[in-house]
Amino acid sequence: MQETPLISKELFCTQVIENQEAMFRTARAILRSDEDAEDAVQEAICAAFAHRGDLRSPEKFKPWILRILANKCYDACRGRRPTVDLTEVQDFLPAPSADPTERMTLWQAVLTLNEDLRCVVTLFYYEGFSIREISGILGIREAAVKTRLSRARARLRLLLREE
Amino acid sequence: MKQFDKELKERAKNEPFPLPEDYAGRVFRTCAALEETAMETPKNSASHKKHTKRWMAWAAAAVAAFIAVPNVSPTAAAAMSDVPVLGALVEIVTFREYTYDDGHSSADVSVPELSGGEAADQVNEEVQAYTDRLIAQFQQDCEETGEGYLGLDVSSEVVTNTDSWFTLRINATRTQASGAEFIKIYHIDKTTDQVVTLGDLFQPDADYVSVLSDEVRRQMEERMAEDEAAGYFPDQFTAIAPDQNFYWNEDGDLVLVFDEYTIAAGFVGTPEFVIPQDVYASLVRS
């Protein structure tokens, strides 16, 4: 019935483990807490495995599973109320550091960005995807990826180069 | 702007990324719990057996990947003990960790501790002595260079874990301007509870060092003949160490492993040579 053979469980799991950091980063860029991100990753793994017949070529595993994950994250966002409570706002702020002169890490800076910018930045700088690939993963137009990327870059420059 | 982009990509690559403590364990357990669905062809018992075996091999490989994840903790080690392949004689009980970061130099050492017999204890002691040496050297280098940018990264990998054999590989990378990678591989013969080094594989009076060295040199020359930019130095190679690092690959072949820079240019990495069985068959201890 299938034209392409199904990816085996071993290969699937190996790929998941290899991409686990990218998956967490992507989910955390869209969602507000580590716990929500972990839940989304878990759901995405199960959903991806159930639909592994849709994966046409194994070398596209990473963008394929990140797209499924991004959709899970958007579903999770839709399910929650639009208010923000103050303890969650703290998650966006750079973690208080023992030494105030210590510089901010890139990830701390990324977490201060708006939600729509965070994900684009993560996929571009951490995962090395092209603008076209990001457009495919997030389901937004390439022009929108470019705009967000340039807004994010300007903001990061302010945050990270405060000399 | 290009310069800033480059800087951001570098930082994304090099800065340590904080994963939640049990995240890797959760991913692993989620994977392990996935069930093959009716989408697949029905299995007869033989293929099912084969499948289980392959799955175990995957679990062993995944454990290796799992250990390399930073911030592993006793919780992660506990999650791993659910993995059937580690249930036998030798298992990882916890991880010994050392981290250091002063803003310019950093170290991240995470090595497992094994349990399961005298050989496991012996490997623990050797691994500890080895990592203690690396850490002491790193601390001394830090003091000497002051504001220098030094790095030490030590991780491990379970290469083999069968009913009869356990192989643990420790990968150490020292960074000072450029990096150098060192490898130590430990073997336990579970049937005898003995730590095994290369010499133990051969008859006591066998000249395995010359035989294996000749084969390595032959393969180096062969690689250079195929591609003169391959980066090996066959002329400068004298012999393998009597306790040269080795492991058994998936096909059951002996593979010799060399540290970076020792027998080839840095870009080659840590060279490996698969030694055909007929090269050493007559020397093997029966």
Is the Cβ of A7 closer than 8 Å to some Cβ of chain B? no
Q: Is the pLDDT of residue B71 over 60?
A: no
Which among A10, A20, A34 has the least Cβ separation from residue B58?
A10
Q: Determine the CATH number of domain B198-283.
A: 3.90.640.20
Q: Which of A56-70, B162-176, B213-227, B237-251 has the lowest mean pLDDT?
A: B162-176
**The pLDDT of residue A108 is above 50:** yes
Q: What is the pLDDT of residue B16?
A: 84
pLDDT of residue A19: 92
Of 1.10.10.10, 3.30.930.10, 3.30.420.10, 3.60.150.10, which CATH number belongs to A102-158? 1.10.10.10
CB within 8 Å: A13 and B24 = no
The answer, for A56 touching chain B at a CB cutoff of 8 Å, is no
Domain ranges across chain B: 2-196, 198-283
For position B235, what pLDDT does the model report?
82
Find out whether B72 and B66 touch, Cβ atoms under 8 Å. Answer: yes
Superfamily for domain range B2-196: Fervidobacterium nodosum Rt17-B1 like (3.30.565.40)
The model's confidence at residue B139, banded by pLDDT at 50, 70 and 90, is confident
| pLDDT at residue B73, as a whole number | 40
Indicate the Cα dihedral angle B15, B20, B23, B25, nearest 10°: 100
Q: What is the pTM of this model?
A: 0.46
**Which of B26-30, B43-47, B265-269 shows the highest mean pLDDT?**
B26-30
State the pLDDT at residue B202: 93
Tokens representing A111 are 């977490």
Statement: residue B147 has pLDDT above 80: no
Kindly tell me if the per-residue pLDDT of B51 is higher than 50: no
ipTM above 0.85 for this complex: no
Q: How far apart are CA B106 and CA B142, in angstroms?
A: 9
By the 10 Å C-beta count (0-12 exposed, 13-18 middle, 19+ buried), B125 is classed as: exposed
The residue of chain A with its CA nearest to that of B24 is A20
Distance from the A146 Cα atom to the nearest Cα atom in chain B, whole angstroms? 13
pLDDT at residue B210 is higher than 90: yes
Identify which of A81-90, B113-122, B203-212 has the greatest average pLDDT. B203-212
pLDDT attached to residue B41: 39
Query: Which of A20, A110, A123 should we substitute to test contact with B (largest number of B Cβ atoms within 10 Å)?
Result: A20
Note whether B12 contacts A: Cβ–Cβ < 8 A.
yes
Share of chain B above pLDDT 70, in %: 79
CA distance B186 to B124: 10
Q: Give me the percent of chain A exceeding a pLDDT of 90.
A: 48
What pLDDT is stored for residue A20 in this prediction?
Answer: 92
E strand or H helix at A113, and its extent? Answer: none
Q: Chain B: give the shortest CA distance to residue A10, in Å.
A: 6
pLDDT value of position B59: 53
pLDDT at B18: 84
What average pLDDT does range B263-282 have in this prediction?
88
User: B90: which DSSP letter?
Assistant: -
Tell me the count of A-B CB pairs closer than 8 A: 84
Distance from the Cα of A42 to chain B's closest Cα (Å) equals 7
Which residue of B lies nearest to A35 if distances are taken between CA atoms?
A: B20
How far A74 CA lies from chain B's nearest CA (Å)? 20
Per-residue pLDDT of B174-201, as tens digits, reads 887 667 788 999 999 888 888 999 999 9
List pLDDT tens digits, range A119-155. 999 999 999 999 999 999 998 899 999 999 999 999 9
CATH for A1-81, options being 2.160.10.10, 3.40.50.1950, 3.40.50.9100, 1.10.1740.10: 1.10.1740.10
Contact B178/B240 with Cβ under 8 angstroms? Answer: no
Task: Kindly determine whether residue A20 and residue B20, on different chains, have CB atoms separated by under 8 Å.
Answer: no
Task: Report the C-alpha gap between A104 and A109 in whole angstroms.
Answer: 7
Domain ranges of chain A: 1-81, 102-158
